[in-house]
Amino acid sequence: MRHRSSEWFGRKDRDGFIHRSWMKNQGIPDDLFDGRPVIGICNTWSELTPCNAHFRVLADHVKRGVYEAGGFPLEFPVMSLGETLMRPTAMLFRNLVSMDVEESIRANPIDGVVLLAGCDKTTPALLMGAASCDLPSIMVSGGPMLNGKFRGKDIGSGTDVWKLSEDVRRGVIDECDFLEAEGCMNRSRGHCMTMGTASTMASVVEALGIGLPTNAAIPAVDSRRYVLAQMAGRRIVEMVREDLRMSRILTYEAFKNAIRVVAAIGGSSNAVIHLLAIAGRIGVRLNLDDWDRLGRDVPCLVNLMPVGKYLMEDFYYAGGLPAVIRELGDLIHREAITVNGKTIGENTSEAPCHNRDVIHSLSDPVHSSAGLAVLRGNLCPDGAIIKPAAATAALMKHRGRALVFETIEAFNSRIDDPNLDVDESSVLVLKNCGPRGYPGMPEVGNMPLPTKLLQKGVTDMVRISDARMSGTAYGTVVLHVAPEAAIGGTLALVQEGDMIELDVEARRLDLDVTESEIERRRNAWVSPKPPADRGYYRLHHDHVLQADRGADLDFLVGASGTVVTRESH
Ligand code: FES
């Protein structure tokens, strides 16, 4: 079988000389150019992405496997996305990284790819970019950190930041206690160890079949994570020889499996936009309503923060994702093929569960119905989502007076005001935090509660925005309202004192204002100015799709394959 890389390395002419000769300056022997599969190792290592800071070592283990199987590994960097440092939000750059990945793969002599991802946005960005090329590909996730430990108790990255900071505002702990927790929470290599977005997306990778079994949960510092990386290196060489491309794995059935797994693990709401965007690249017609339809009756089986009490390390020791997939039985399309060449059913049919308090059975779930609910109504004609498992049951049907914030800065400047006109029945409405408006749809939808209500002991309120929320967060939070405020969605027209009705059971979210008044407000609405005149911000502003379409750039939906006909010299 003649591989794609032979177009570069398999020639005796001047261009073949150029392609090989400069590579030899790295000390590469002749026989590595003999037509064997060339495996790209796409690395999001960066010291600015602490969750991915161990990836140079991980890549070395992938390389061992590639060499063992007779391949030629070549590691290449792409832009990395660190959730905790990047402003205005790492999500703004997910699509940019996907372009970097796609073009890096296509432009180079690569036959198959191992994708190394960890921190939240790195996983969807790499899958999106690779899907637009559709070569044989395996993702290796970086693995979660060990459990946080603070004063004898386990604490979870993200989830306990929100809890501890609310405790400071309530006066339960002081600033010294709060800062002491800093070094105790994130104490080993790896990504957030709650069932936040990174762990959810690592589970999605396994559920889609684009990662090897056990990919989701092995801690980053556990030697078995490095064995997994080596096995991925061996396997990708075989996949190239078998021509097992992404499009044979990322089928509609695989996406259905992933949606059900996200429900069963109590996974992050961010998975919605990421899976919609990945599906758009590989040509699978997935839509927002699939999330409600497929996840609606799936129980939550995994007792992990933020919806439960344990962390990813416990999840791995309890059996990890294979045990969950086995437990889901017929809710899973068991014939879906995975990167190891076996079906997901074959991979999980014997998977043991070692701790039923961490991974519950179908007959004794953590929550009986855990899927994300998709809401419709005049406030969100193109949809909005809520995660019922992380919400307060008593607020799932609620009518309240809107307290409106035009921006997150306006929210931050008013929320601690003791004279704020708010009570526990109020509905907090935040605008201009959508894909175009912020820009990049930040994780601010889980707005902190007003201080005066926190001090009264209020623990939850209905909150509505066009933003996302961290997968580690919780509360009765309506997210991803579409169309967003910045393009003139009804959300932009909500005024202080308007009544809003939420009915999760009926899947409704409505602004109780007459149609004629909404129309009057719409005619008076003025579109905000773009955030920048040039550069990526401008490109993003002009082309980003709404949340219900995965917030991809409109011209990136679909694939361009890997054929490049023109030479460089
Ligand atoms: Fe990187 Fe949470 S900050 S995964």
Residues contacting 5, CB < 8 A, separation 6+: 35, 37, 38, 72, 109, 110, 111
Which residues does residue 552 pair with via DSSP β-bridges, in sequence order? Answer: none
CA of residue 270 to ligand 1 center, whole Å:
13
Query: Would you state the structure tokens that stand for residue 62, as one six-digit string?
Result: 């992938």
pLDDT at 1: 85
The CB of 192 under 6 Å from ligand 1? The reply is: yes
Cβ of residue 185 lying under 6 Å from some atom of ligand 1: no
Atom 3, ligand 1: residue with shortest CA distance: 83
Name the percent of the chain in helix, strand, coil, to the closest 5: 40, 15, 45
Asked if the model's pLDDT at residue 333 lies above 90, the reply is yes
The pLDDT value recorded for residue 185 is 96
pLDDT band at 455 (very low <50, low <70, confident <90, very high): confident
The answer to whether the CB of 51 is under 6 A from ligand 1 is: yes
Q: Please tell me the distance from the alpha carbon of residue 313 to that of residue 14, in angstroms, as a whole number.
A: 54
For ligand 1, whether the C-beta of 343 sits within 6 Å is no
Q: Cα(473) to centroid of ligand 1, in Å? A: 13
pTM: 0.97
pLDDT at position 116, please?
98
- Report how far ligand 1's centroid is from the alpha carbon of 365 (Å): 27
Q: Identify the pLDDT of residue 9.
A: 98
For residue 10, with 0-12 CB atoms within 10 Å meaning exposed, 13-18 middle and 19 or more buried, which class applies?
middle
How far is it, in rounded angstroms, from Cα 198 to Cα 233? 22
Beta-carbon neighbour count of residue 215 at 10 Å? 26
State the average pLDDT over residues 48-55.
98
**Residue whose CB lies within 8 A of the most ligand 1 atoms, among 52, 54, 157, 187, for a mutation test:** 157
Lay out the sheet containing 477-479: strands in order across. Answer: 373-375, 384-386, 477-479, 462-465, 427-430, 397-405, 499-503, 508-511
Nearest CA to ligand 1 atom 1: 119
- Region 43-70 average pLDDT: 98
Ligand 1 centre to CA of 519 (Å) is 42
Q: Which pLDDT does position 470 carry in this prediction?
A: 86
Please write the tens of the pLDDT for every residue from 520-531.
999 999 999 988
Nearest atom of ligand 1 to the alpha carbon of 158: 2
Q: What does the pLDDT look like over 290-317, one tens digit per residue? A: 999 999 889 999 999 998 999 999 999 9
Question: Is residue 169 predicted with pLDDT exceeding 90?
Answer: no
Find the 185 Cα to ligand 1 centroid distance in Å: 12
CB 243 within 8 A of CB 214: no
557 pairs with which residues across the strands? none
Atom of ligand 1 nearest to the CA of 84: 3
For 42, phi and psi rounded to 5 degrees? -85, 110
Q: How confident is the model at residue 368 (pLDDT cuts 50, 70, 90)?
A: confident
510 CB within 6 A, ligand 1: no
Rounded to the nearest angstrom, the distance between the alpha carbon of 271 and the centre of ligand 1 is 14
- Alpha carbon of 51 to ligand 1 centroid (Å): 6
65: Cβ below 6 Å to ligand 1? Answer: no
| Amino acid 389: pLDDT | 81
Residue nearest to atom 2 of ligand 1 (CA): 192
The CB of 120 under 6 Å from ligand 1? The reply is yes
Distance from C-alpha of 65 to C-alpha of 58, rounded to nearest angstrom: 11
Cβ-proximal residues to 543 (8 Å cutoff; 6+ apart), any chain: 553, 554, 555
User: If you ran DSSP here, which 8-state letter would residue 186 be given?
Assistant: S
Residue pLDDT, tens place only, 481-498? 999 999 999 999 999 999
Q: Is 392 in the pocket of ligand 1 (CB under 6 A)?
A: no
Q: How far is the CA of 513 from the centre of ligand 1 (A)?
A: 40
- Rg, C-alpha atoms of the chain: 24
Reported in sequence order, the residue ranges of 315-451 that DSSP labels E, i.e. its strands, are 373-375, 384-386, 397-405, 427-430
**Does residue 83's CB lie within 6 angstroms of at least one atom of ligand 1?**
yes
- Closest ligand 1 atom to Cα of 470: 2
- 191: CA distance to ligand 1 center in Å? 5
Burial class of 167 by CB neighbour count within 10 A (0 to 12, 13 to 18, 19+): middle
Please give the number of the atom of ligand 1 that sits closest to the Cα of 82.
1
What are the pLDDT digits (tens) for 374-412?
A: 999 999 999 999 988 889 999 999 999 999 999 999 999
